[in-house]
Structure 1
Amino acid sequence: MSRSFPLSDAADLPRWRRPMTLLFVMAALMPVAFSTWSALLNNFVIEVADFDGQDIGILHFVREIPGFLAIGVIAIIIFIREQVVGIVSLILLGVATALTGFFPSLGGILTLTMLSSIGFHYYETVNQSLQLQWLPKDRAPQILGRLLAMGSAATAVAYVLIVMTWRTYDLSYSTVYMVAGGVTAAGGLFCLIAYPVFESPHPQVKKMVLKRRYWLYYALQFMAGARRQIFMVFAGFMMVEKFGYEVHQLTLLFLINLAANMVLAPVFGHVVARFGERRTLMFEYTGLIGVFLAYGGVYYFGWGVLVAAGLYVVDHIFFALALALKTYFQKISDPQDIAPTAAVAFTINHIAAVGLPPVLGFMWMISPVSVFVTAAVMAGVSLVLAVLIPRHPEKGNETVLSKYISAPAG
């Protein structure tokens, strides 16, 4: 990898070698492997490995363990620069995804899921930290929206190729996984060689940071991790188990999600900048309550596949508004706290994520409706927490209660 380079001098580099460009390149590379893995997963494990609801719960339990251990990034960045850790993690994600189709057994799938998850979660932890360090606060919401749109566009290309070629060329799972993972791994290797290591103007604290004044951010992260499992694990599983979606059909549904994100994600960035994190997150959580209750209605009242598919798309769109949580933390944090707090937040986010999938998998076997009602309750708790975000969050004004509670700055 090239020598270290001060972030303040990055404007002197060719545009393609600047830190902003690197963020966009990584934003495009990661979803190629991860989204392809996700798109094929439900059909792969049901058709090839004969998974049931409990097996899929165990799989996602294993997948979330590295997220729970994301705090380990703090120890790694003592010896290795954050940027290097992020790119190497991206390569690991690609390699593990490429090998997934060659091990169609419970043990093989769980092992490669663990490896790819280490790559994904450590990449995401570091990437979030780099975004908040490198992006100016006044433009962060808009740029985060564009980064989200870039990831959606890259995933859309992968999904279009799957839809167009899966049945036409009778592709195998191993072929698609190998190509998608290979693209991500090769792109990560390019980033490792082509870009200098950018030095942040604010050296990061290389120890665990837990501050009382960040408590609301921690609470929102915890609830986000718990709520996310319903969408990640069971919404897609429902489309395959209940409605018999095939790979190309489920991928087409994902593609609709991506098209919506490509159009709306930049708009969401402007929405956060215009209306603030408080109103944006309240709107998201209110919408998710309705979506999750409607998912339950699909099972209880027998609503059709079109209603379920529509809910899936709306669900995905609402989750894109979560970029407001990133900018909320950027506004209230000390600049040197970003890297360690990103790691701590990822761990907090995954506390419930590790424990919930097996429990929800068992609930799913008894009553799928109860899973979605539980998710609606979780979204309701998040809504209550979002009400506590100030209109103009900043250091010293982290919650609407800050002016009533005298707490130490650290």
Structure 2
Amino acid sequence: MDSDTQVKDYELKNKKSYKERVVNLIGSLKNDKDFTLFLIVGLFTGIASGINSTVFNNFLSDVYKLSASARGVVEFPRELPGALIMIVLGLLAFLGDVRASMIGMLFASLGMIGLGLFSPTFSAMLIWMMILSLGTHIFMPLSASIGMSLSERDSYGARLGKFNAYNLMATILGYLIVWLGFKYLGLTYRVVFIIAAISYIFALIFLGLMTPKKPKVKKIKFVFRRKYTLYYVLSVVNGARKQIFLTFAPWVLIQVYHVDPPTFAILGFIVSGLSILTRTIVGNAIDIKGERFVLSLEAIVLIVICIGYAFAADVFPAAIAVIIIAACYILDNSMSVVEMARSTYIKKIALCPEDVTPTLSAGTSFDHLIAMTIPFFGGILWATMGYKYVFIAAAIIAFMNLFLTLRIKVD
């Protein structure tokens, strides 16, 4: 090869390399812009979530006077949209993750408006609750998928950790609205639900400002692969344990210890202060230590929390027992960030990128299929034997979760 040819080849390679660098830079800047918008979405969904999680159980208790068994029954319609989310996201697949998330925010805002303004009866409340649940469950797997699509493989955990930290900081504002509103400003359930609805509308708007990626799969796609079996099983077991905590942990504080919305807001402040740090730490731990380490540690902590819920009242006076149970409630809610480890696990073992969203949605569906039924039996167990046995059952499930997480392997 003569020198002129070598020079031309060198210039061609440099030109190609330069074009690649420019394309990569543009893609990186676009990703950063979209990720910034996505962080803002996390802020608005955090405000709405903070309000809803703080007042919803008190709303059910104060307005509809539910018993523990009736509270368990309510979880069936509330979690039904989550069980069907695999089908729902399959139908919305042609829109892509961002546009489908906008649909989710629309439903969530409508559900909140309905709870605030159009729930004079228990049956009407159930309908609006299901619409809200559909919206939030649409966004649940898509938020992880969108966050990871705007990240590199070695920063999945850190990026999701950052999104979750922003989301959590905004929940503090939601808690503050409830605390100030109920304690000093005379706000009602109706008003705070409308504030949450407005927050979901703003989340919808900022999702609309993001650059939607055209989905490679424009037809309905359901993914069931043997390689993802452990993820599916983990989703089921996690759904069972999580739903016991979501349903009955606040119900113990409300029904047994008469905790009101402002007090739940204070607990929320403590949870947020603890979790702002843990969300970033957990995200980095996923990248450094891996999913098996993080999920195994979570399972061990959850076993301890279950024991605290179950036996605090037997060992300590009521004044101390309520503090221990409240501490368990705080730790339990602080551990919710670990959910992203299951998302990064499936992202790393996926055979192709197009498998991620449908597999996450399948996991969400399996999670909620069991979550629909567990509260019903938990309510019966509470009514017949006492709430202690509900959390003993949760401890057994947490042991199963530990056994399964130890089987995780990532190439």
Question: What's 1:231 paired with?
Answer: 245
- Secondary structure, in 3 states, of the residue corresponding to 1:139? helix
Question: What's 2:185 paired with?
Answer: 169
Question: What's 1:29 paired with?
Answer: 44
Q: Which amino acid aligns with 1:248?
A: P
2:309 to 295, 312, 324: 295
Q: CA 1:104 to 1:348, structure 2 compared with 1: closer, same or farther past 3 Å?
A: same
Q: Provide the rounded CA distance (Å) in 1 between the counterparts of 2:157 and 2:339.
A: 11
Shift of 1:251: 1.2
Moved more, 93-102 or 168-177: 93-102
Q: CA 1:369 to 1:204, structure 2 compared with 1: closer, same or farther past 3 Å?
A: farther
Moved more, 126-135 or 136-145: 126-135
Q: Provide the rounded CA distance (Å) in 1 between the counterparts of 2:231 and 2:25.
A: 29
1:148 to 164, 189, 199: 164
2:370 to 352, 369, 373: 352
Q: Provide the rounded CA distance (Å) in 1 between the counterparts of 2:44 and 2:87.
A: 23
Question: What's 2:145 paired with?
Answer: 129
Question: What's 2:205 paired with?
Answer: 189
1:373 to 378, 389, 392: 392
Q: Provide the rounded CA distance (Å) in 2 between the counterparts of 1:339 and 1:282.
A: 24
Show CA shifts across 1:221-264 (max 9, x none): 11111111122111111111111111101111012111111122
Contact 1:19 1:198 in 2 (8 A): no
Question: What's 2:361 paired with?
Answer: 343
2:397 is aligned with 1:383:
no
Contact 2:181 2:187 in 1 (8 A): yes
2:282 is aligned with 1:286:
no
- Secondary structure, in 3 states, of the residue corresponding to 1:260? helix
Shift of 1:7: 9.9
Q: Provide the rounded CA distance (Å) in 2 between the counterparts of 1:204 and 1:22.
A: 25
Shift of 1:190: 4.3
2:263 is aligned with 1:249:
yes
Runs of at least 4 residues of structure 1 off by over 6 A?
A: none
Shift of 1:26: 2.2
Moved more, 232-241 or 293-302: 293-302
Q: CA 1:301 to 1:204, structure 2 compared with 1: closer, same or farther past 3 Å?
A: farther
Contact 1:239 1:250 in 2 (8 A): no
Q: CA 1:75 to 1:187, structure 2 compared with 1: closer, same or farther past 3 Å?
A: closer
Question: What's 1:313 paired with?
Answer: 330
Shift of 1:19: 2.3
Q: Which amino acid aligns with 1:119?
A: G
Shift of 1:22: 3.0
Q: Provide the rounded CA distance (Å) in 1 between the counterparts of 2:116 and 2:270.
A: 25
**Which protein shows a greater Rg?**
2
Show CA shifts across 1:28-48 (max 9, x none): 222322331221112111111
Shift of 1:78: 4.3
Q: Which amino acid aligns with 2:55?
A: L
- Secondary structure, in 3 states, of the residue corresponding to 1:181? helix
2:235 is aligned with 1:213:
no
Shift of 1:178: 0.8
Question: What's 1:39 paired with?
Answer: 54
Contact 2:94 2:220 in 1 (8 A): no
Q: Which amino acid aligns with 1:259?
A: G
Shift of 1:274: 2.0
Shift of 1:27: 1.8
Contact 1:101 1:177 in 2 (8 A): yes
Q: As a proportion of its length, which structure holds more helix?
A: 2
Question: What's 2:341 paired with?
Answer: 324
Q: Provide the rounded CA distance (Å) in 1 between the counterparts of 2:93 and 2:64.
A: 41
Contact 1:205 1:336 in 2 (8 A): no
Contact 2:343 2:360 in 1 (8 A): no
Q: Provide the rounded CA distance (Å) in 2 between the counterparts of 1:239 and 1:167.
A: 18
- Secondary structure, in 3 states, of the residue corresponding to 1:168? helix
1:51 to 43, 62, 66: 66
Q: CA 1:14 to 1:355, structure 2 compared with 1: closer, same or farther past 3 Å?
A: closer
Question: What's 2:19 paired with?
Answer: none
Contact 1:91 1:186 in 2 (8 A): no
Moved more, 376-385 or 307-316: 307-316
Q: Which amino acid aligns with 2:232?
A: Y
Q: Provide the rounded CA distance (Å) in 1 between the counterparts of 2:307 and 2:365.
A: 28
Shift of 1:10: 4.1
Q: Provide the rounded CA distance (Å) in 2 between the counterparts of 1:37 and 1:111.
A: 16
- Secondary structure, in 3 states, of the residue corresponding to 1:67? helix
Q: Provide the rounded CA distance (Å) in 2 between the counterparts of 1:339 and 1:206.
A: 12
Contact 1:91 1:185 in 2 (8 A): yes
Shift of 1:368: 0.5
Q: Which amino acid aligns with 1:368?
A: Y
Q: What is the TM-score normalised by the length of structure 2? A: 0.88
Q: Provide the rounded CA distance (Å) in 1 between the counterparts of 2:345 and 2:269.
A: 29
Q: Percent identity?
A: 23
Contact 1:92 1:119 in 2 (8 A): yes
Q: Which amino acid aligns with 1:321?
A: V
Q: Provide the rounded CA distance (Å) in 1 between the counterparts of 2:56 and 2:163.
A: 25
Q: Which amino acid aligns with 1:241?
A: Q
- Secondary structure, in 3 states, of the residue corresponding to 2:185? coil
- Secondary structure, in 3 states, of the residue corresponding to 2:212? strand
Q: How many residues align?
A: 383
Moved more, 53-62 or 24-33: 24-33
Q: Which amino acid aligns with 1:147?
A: F
2:379 to 361, 383, 387: 361
Q: Which amino acid aligns with 1:357?
A: P
